[in-house]
Amino acid sequence: MLNIKLLGIDKNGDEREYTLKDFAGQRLVLYFYPKDNTSGCTQEACDFRDNMNRLTSKAVVIGVSPDNTKRHKSFQEKQNLNFILLSDTEHKLAEAFNVWVEKSMYGRKYMGIERSTFILDEKGNIEKEWRKVKVKGHVDEVLEYLS
């Protein structure tokens, strides 16, 4: 799980390759979301952005979705996001965290991301997880846990 290589957009808007090993020695807030520029995902990203000053002393925030880096860069610029977005187009990281799941909408079944957040400790171990996250108030839950 720590060696899965993904392209991402750093907080300066530059594309580069990441593995979770790159963050050894730091706590991570790793949050999985379904799709850039949708209402819930935009709200969640903006909530993390707006609380970054309260988060940076506690953990590094990384967002992960199946969108490609071009979409991530556009999303980051449009919303002025100040954290890393990883592009998990092949769902490798999502599958490693068991958040690539069968979903259903209007009776149609499909595979997609289950909105989830993980706190990883300095060694990359899962310290805390939230599954089927409801966006409203979630960042406050994360902050409360980290405090």
Classified as helix, coil or strand, 60 is strand
Find out whether 23 and 60 touch, Cβ atoms under 8 Å. Answer: yes
Provide the greatest CA pair distance for the chain.
44
Q: Pick the catalytic residue: 20, 30, 41, 55?
A: 41
- 46 in catalytic set: no
CA distances, 133 to each of 5, 8, 52 (Å): 25, 23, 19
Note whether 52 and 82 are within 8 A (CB): yes
The residues assigned a catalytic role are: 41
